Amino acid sequence: MSDTDLHPLDGLRVAVVGAGIAGLTAARKLAKAGAEVSVFDKSRGLGGRLATRRTEGGPADHGAQYFTAREPAFKAWVARAKLIGAAAPWVPRGKDGEEEWLVGMPGMSGLVTALVDGFTVAQERTVTAIHEIEGRFTLSFADGAEAAGFDRVVVAVPAPQAAGLLGAYGAPFDRIGLAAMAPCWTLIAALSAPIDPGFDVVRDQGALQWVARSASKPGREGETWIAQANPQWSAEHLEDDPESVRAALVPMLEAAVGPLPARLYEAVHRWRYALVDKAVGETFLLSPDGRIGAAGDWLIAPRVEAAWTSGDGLAEAMVAKAAASAG
C-alpha cells in the first residue's frame, strides 16, 4: 500500500465552513486523510447548535438538549466519546421512550471539543462568499478579508445559509432549497434556590415544547432551567425584541414548574434555524468532481446523529473521489 492510498488528500488544502458537529466531523476525517484543513465559524464558540452557556447560576445547554444513537457507525463513535469522558447517559425524571438519552460532557459542546485534532479552527469568521479562481477556491469574509488557495471546500452550515454560499454552483446544490428549518426561542433561567415540580423534563406545556432542569444532567451544577417555545410560537415572534420574548416566556415557564425564585441569570436566545422541518433526503451533496460539498442535519433529520452522519459521509466521499482520481 502506497502513501497515496493511506493519505489520498496529501498536499491538498481544505476549507470547512461551520464548526458544528457536521463540519468538525468532516474536518477530522479529511485531516486524517492527509489534507491541511482550516475550519471557519462565525461564532465565538465551537459546536454550533451543540451549545452551552456559562451563567452566574451554572452552565445551561441552550441548543440541543440530548441526543440518541441509532446506527452502528454513530454508536461506535459515541462509545469512544463515552470512554474519553465527552459523553454520558442522562436519565431525567420525565424521560419518555426506551432509547438511551446522551449528553455532551461537561456541556453539550464538550461532545465536539475532542474532535479538534490535526486542523485549525478560526472563530468569529463569517464566510460571505466562495469563489472559484483558476481551479482553486477563495473564501470571502464579512470583514472584507479573504483566504485563498483551497483545493476542496466543505460547507456545513444550516440550509438557508448554505444556499447563500453554494447557490452559484448549480446542481446538486439546487437541492438545498428542498430543506426547511424552523426557529426556536429559548429561555435560560438560573434560579437562586432549587425548585421541585416533580419532574426534570416535560414536553408540550402550552406554547412551550420542552422544559428541562440542567442540573439533572451529569456533571452540571446550579439550578438552571431551559424552556423552549414551539416552532409556531417562535415563528410568530421571530422578530420580536428579546425583552418582550423574555417577558412572555417567564410566565409560561412558571405555569409549567410553579413560581420561580429570584434569578441569578435570565436571558433568551433566538435560534433562527433550530430544527429541520423538512429534510433534503440525501446524506450529503457533492459536486460531480468531488471538490465542493455540503453537509448538515438538514440533509437527513433534525438530530445530532444526522449531522454527524452527514459530515462523516461527505468526508468519506471526498476522500474516495481523491483516491480514485490519484489511482
Ligand X SMILES: Cc1cc2nc3c(=O)[nH]c(=O)nc-3n(C[C@H](O)[C@H](O)[C@H](O)COP(=O)(O)OP(=O)(O)OC[C@H]3O[C@@H](n4cnc5c(N)ncnc54)[C@H](O)[C@@H]3O)c2cc1C
Q: Which residues bind ligand X (CB under 6 A)?
A: 17-23, 40-43, 48-50, 63-67, 126-127, 156-158, 161, 184, 186, 228, 271, 274-275, 296-297, 302-304, 307
Q: How far is the CB of 85 from ligand X (least distance, A)?
A: 20
Q: How far is the CB of 73 from ligand X (least distance, A)?
A: 16
Q: How far is the CB of 298 from ligand X (least distance, A)?
A: 7
Nearer to ligand X, 41 or 266 (CB): 41
Rounded to whole angstroms, the Cα distance separating 270 from 49 reads 11
Nearer to ligand X, 8 or 209 (CB): 209
Of 98, 109, 102, which Cα lies nearest the Cα of 74?
A: 102
Nearer to ligand X, 40 or 119 (CB): 40
Nearer to ligand X, 18 or 110 (CB): 18
Nearer to ligand X, 4 or 43 (CB): 43
Rounded to whole angstroms, the Cα distance separating 293 from 284 reads 7
Rounded to whole angstroms, the Cα distance separating 55 from 225 reads 11
Count of Cβ atoms closer than 10 Å to residue 243 Cβ: 9
240: Cβ contacts below 8 Å, ≥ 6 apart: none
Q: How far is the CB of 21 from ligand X (least distance, A)?
A: 5
Q: How far is the CB of 141 from ligand X (least distance, A)?
A: 8
Residue 88 amino acid letter: A
The grid cell for 24 is 468538525
Q: How far is the CB of 142 from ligand X (least distance, A)?
A: 8
Residue 279 has φ and ψ, to the nearest 5°, of -95, 160
Q: How many residues does the chain have?
A: 327
Count of Cβ atoms closer than 10 Å to residue 77 Cβ: 19
Nearer to ligand X, 19 or 211 (CB): 19
Residue ranges of the alpha helices (H) in the chain? 3-6, 21-32, 72-83, 110-113, 159-166, 231-236, 242-257, 304-326
